[in-house]
Amino acid sequence: MLRTHTCGELREGHAGSQVDLCGWVASRRDHGGIVFLDLRDRYGVTQAFVPRENADLARRALDLGPETVVRVRGKVALRPEGMRNPKRPTGGVEVEASALEVLNPARPPAIPVNDEEAPASDEARLRHRYLDLRRPAAQKVLLGRHRIVAAVRRFFDAEGFVDVETPALVRWTPGGARNYLVPSRVHPGSFYALAESPQLFKQLLMVAGLDRYVQVVRCFRDEDLRLDRQPEFSQIDVEMSFVEEEDVMAVVERMLAAVVKEATGAALPLPLPRIPCAEAMLRYGCDKPDLRYGLEIADATDLVRASGFGIFRGAAESGGVVRGLSVPGGASRGRREIEGLEAVAREAGAKGLAWMKRAEGEGGFQGPFVKFLAAGEAAALADRVGAGPGGLALFVAAPVETACAALAAVRAASARVRNLVDGAALAACWVVDFPLLEAAPGGGWAARHHAFTSPRPDHLDLLETDPGRVLARAYDLVVNGFEIGGGSIRTHRADVQERVFRAIGIGPEEAREKFAFLLEALSSGAPPHGGIALGVDRLAMVVLGHPNIRDVIAFPKTTSGQDLMTGAPGKVSEAQLRELRIRAEP
């Protein structure tokens, strides 16, 4: 080894020892002929100095450029009283250098590489990611992610799960996310797909009798990116045999508690609450509610069917809803804040946001639509959404899906404006009882989660008669408003799987062509089984308290799917395209 110790290792007990340190030059200073160097590696920073009498070595030390990679040999000494640095674990010692070796000179860094300087732009950080990752804060995140994954592996190993690798090059199948296609050179005109999930393979492992499977696996989806999504990502993939929903959820809860304890030291209260999907949509406007704050939504449609306010009455008469929420203390907020919330509602699809302030004491109500309300109607509406004295009541009148989306956005924006979100808190829950199917854009039905989710046994007869009412044996893990994972009990009987296929428009011929292996496997003694897939990136983002998923990925891509550092995706030569029998159209 070129070094005897790391730059974060030396303490007072090492005084008098000869050491070799390797690292990057974080800073250099000349104090009256004594040259000081701060050496940095991922373990910390150690101060070295060159005494006045060693003028040649001091001159060489002063000539070092920032971020030059060096090796320093010397003796550990205690720092004088009053000159110790309590902010550093190594702040009680320094190394009196007797030799200095430049391992690699460095050009001036293109972006700041310490946390004291203002960070570079996001584009510059991604373009020079290898420098950005030298920052202690960035390395702390990656180390935190490492601890999370290590805790996951330890937990599942102790629980008797078997880690099995599944293929990344698979056959394209319909019904899931958009796949990346990979042309086959040896089978011209044929394509692999990069696996969006090991879903079918982990089900087949249950048929094979492995009983408990786990894998931290790389997955790929050719979809539009956003705050919590990347084109390639890692997930904790889990499957279990002879289980029901509560069995899977109980294992995952214990895993999550182990992860939180490892990463933050906090205890996660168990069991987590279970919230039916319909209830989540009503109370929070979405199926991934942030439970760190209140501001729950309430339905007031029954109160306005005969309202003097035509917009409310019209929404109720046309099959829509009138729903609202209360912002405690919001009556004191100005028009500008309310206009901001109105803009949020419109951006989410609503035509507007009706508001009403309830004065303190017996002062009555204020708001643009209050004059249209009958006696007692304003109080009834305020009471329904929980707007007490000094509160601000906000309402949306719209079709149910629009009302949910708009009020979910208004709820989140109100929490931010009023500083109701505890950034250090973790609030987790399960959302259950999802619809099995949802309306497809072109008509008919599509799977809400995926085509292999089992319908509830008591809803099987509705598959052919009323598909929209069928509930799935599915469950989502939600933490701080992010869906961390989704899972389900799978369909383990071939006849039921064929009925689900028919419900989503996959006829017998297409089912045999694309899923013959699965149907044959289900007919070969498949046990009841279920599982879940949890996003490693989202889990790390939430547990470590970062607002963007890119913060917890070593080499992330932009929202357009580009790697600014390497230039991917890039063009290939005509010769490569000809070899693959592909023509690229401009």
**Per-residue pLDDT tens over the stretch 149-166:** 999 999 999 999 999 999
Q: Token pair of 233, please? A: 């990502």
Q: Give pLDDT tens digits for 38-74.
A: 999 999 999 999 999 999 999 999 999 999 999 999 9
Using one digit for the tens of pLDDT, what is the confidence trace for 71-128? 999 999 999 999 999 999 999 999 999 999 999 999 999 999 998 888 899 999 999 9
Q: Cis before residue 108, ω within 30 degrees of 0? A: no
Contact 277, 438 (CB under 8 A): no
Q: What is the pLDDT of residue 175?
A: 60
* Mean pLDDT (whole number) for 558-580: 93
pLDDT exceeds 90 at position 442: no
For residue 227, pLDDT beyond 70:
no
* pLDDT at site 584: 86
Task: Measure CA of the first residue to CA of the last residue in the chain; give whole Å.
Answer: 53
Query: At 32, is the secondary structure helix, strand, or coil?
Result: coil
Whether pLDDT at 288 is above 70: yes
User: What is the Cβ-side half-sphere exposure of residue 4, based on CA atoms within 13 angstroms?
Assistant: 12
User: Model confidence at 172, in pLDDT bands (50, 70, 90)?
Assistant: confident
Beta strands in 221-349 (DSSP E): 232-241, 274-276, 298-299, 321-327
Q: How confident is the model at residue 420 (pLDDT cuts 50, 70, 90)?
A: very high
3-state secondary structure of 87: coil
- Which domains can be identified in the chain, with CATH numbers? 12-104 (2.40.50.140), 140-275+428-552 (3.30.930.10), 293-417 (3.30.1360.30)
Quote the distance between the C-alpha of residue 105 and its chain's center. 39
Half-sphere exposure of 156 toward its Cβ, with a 13 Å CA cutoff? 23
Residue 497 pLDDT level (bands cut at 50, 70, 90)? very high
Element counts in the chain: helices (H) and strands (E): 16, 23
DSSP 469: G
How many beta carbons lie within 10 A of that of residue 33, not counting itself?
A: 11
Above 80 in pLDDT, residue 361?
no
State percent of the chain over pLDDT 70: 98
Using DSSP's 3-state secondary structure scheme, residue 356 falls into strand
Average pLDDT over the chain, rounded to an integer: 95
The residue behind tokens 């959404």 is 385
What is the predicted pLDDT for the residue at 178?
A: 85
**pTM to 2 decimal places:** 0.93
105 and 60 in contact (C-beta within 8 Å)? no
3-state secondary structure of 226: strand
pLDDT tens string 173-211:
766 678 999 999 999 999 999 999 999 999 999 999 999
Q: How confident is the model at residue 423 (pLDDT cuts 50, 70, 90)?
A: confident
Beta bridge partners of 325: 394
Beta strand 474-479 pairing with 428-432? antiparallel
pLDDT of residue 17: 98
Between 375 and 324, name the one with better pLDDT: 324
Q: Amino acid identity of 143?
A: L
For the stretch 15-38, pLDDT in tens is 999 999 999 999 999 998 899 999
Q: Are 217 and 149 in contact (CB under 8 A)?
A: no
